[in-house]
Amino acid sequence: STTTVDNNVYQYPFENDRRYHAYCEVKYPFVALETDADRRNCKELHYFFRFTMRDSLHHAPLSNPQKILDVGTGTGIWAMEMADLYPSAEVIGADLSPIQPLWVPPNLQFLVADAEDLTLFGENKFDFIYIRCFAGCASNWNTFLERAFSLLRPGGFIECVEVEFDVRYERQSRNLDNDTHLTQFLRLIHEAAEKRNRTLNVASKLKCHLQATGFRDIKETVYNIPLHKESLDPRELQIGHDSLRCATNSIEAYGIRLFTRELKWSRIEALVLFAEVRNELRNSERQQFRPYTRL
C-alpha cells in the first residue's frame, strides 16, 4: 500500500545507532540510508552499475516507454536519470522511506509504498519495470514477480539486477577458505536472513523465477565483479576499486540488525567481526570476485 508523506513515516526507529524504515518497519532488515556515507555508497553503487554497463541505465531495448516503475528506488538516483533520459515518460519510484530529493524532474513521482506489494499499482500499466538490489526484500520471489508480470503492458520489459552475497577466489571457483572471518560472516548473514524468511542469494535463481512466472525471451548476463585493486586493464582496475569500496562500506548496513536481532549478537561483537571482514577483503593477496547478474 501507499501512504501520504506525513510525520509518521519520518518517525524512524533507531537501533544500534542506525536508522531504519518507519513504514513496514518489520519487513526490511537493512538501514534506511540515514548517513552521508550510506547515501554516498548508494550513489557510488549506482555509478558502478552504470560503469559496468558502459554508461547505460538499462539493457532492455526500450522504444519510447510511457510509464516506468522503479521498485525499491532508494535515493531515487536511477529514477531521476531515467526521467531525464525519457522526458515523455511518467516515471514512478517506490520505496518504504521518503529519502529522495524534493527537486526532481517534472515527469517523476516518488511514492512511499511497500514495493513488495505491487498490487497497489493495478494491472497492465507499465512499459518497463526496474528492480535492482532487492535481495532480502521479497519473501517469495515467484509471487513478487507474478505481481510484476501483471503490471506490464503487452510487450513490456522487466529488468532485474542482483549481486550475490558471496565471494569467490577465482573466476571458476565457488569455494572460500573455511577459517576466515569472511566465510563466517557470509554463513551467518545467510542464516540470519533465512530466520526472517528472506533469501539474500537470489541472483543465480532469477532466471528460473522469471521463467516460472511466465516471462519470455529472457536474456541473462552474469558478470564476475573483481574485488581487488590490481589489474593491467584500466577498466577492470576501476571496477575492482569501486566494487571493493562498495562491498566494505555495505557490511554494517546489511549485517548489524540481522546479527543483533536474529543471531542475538551484541553490537560490539558484530562490529568487531565486520571490521575483521573489511580487513580481509582489503588485504587479500588472492583475486576475489562477486557474481553479479542482470536479466
Residue 54: CATH number of its domain: 3.40.50.150
Percent of the chain predicted with pLDDT > 70: 82
pLDDT tens for residues 267-281?
A: 999 999 999 999 999
Mean residue pLDDT of the chain comes to 83
* pLDDT of 214 strictly over 50: yes
Q: Smallest Cα–Cα separation from 105: which of 86, 123, 129, 80?
A: 80
Local confidence band at 191 (pLDDT 50, 70, 90 cut-offs): very high
* Cβ proximity of 156 and 217 under 8 Å: no
Number of domains in the chain: 1
pLDDT tens for residues 111-169?
A: 988 777 788 888 899 999 999 989 888 889 999 999 999 999 999 999 999 988 888 77
For the chain, the C-alpha Rg in angstroms (whole number) is 19
Pairing assessment for the beta strands 289-294 and 152-163 based on DSSP bridges: antiparallel
Q: Which is higher by pLDDT, 294 or 93?
A: 93
Instruction: State the residue range of the domain holding 67.
Output: 2-294
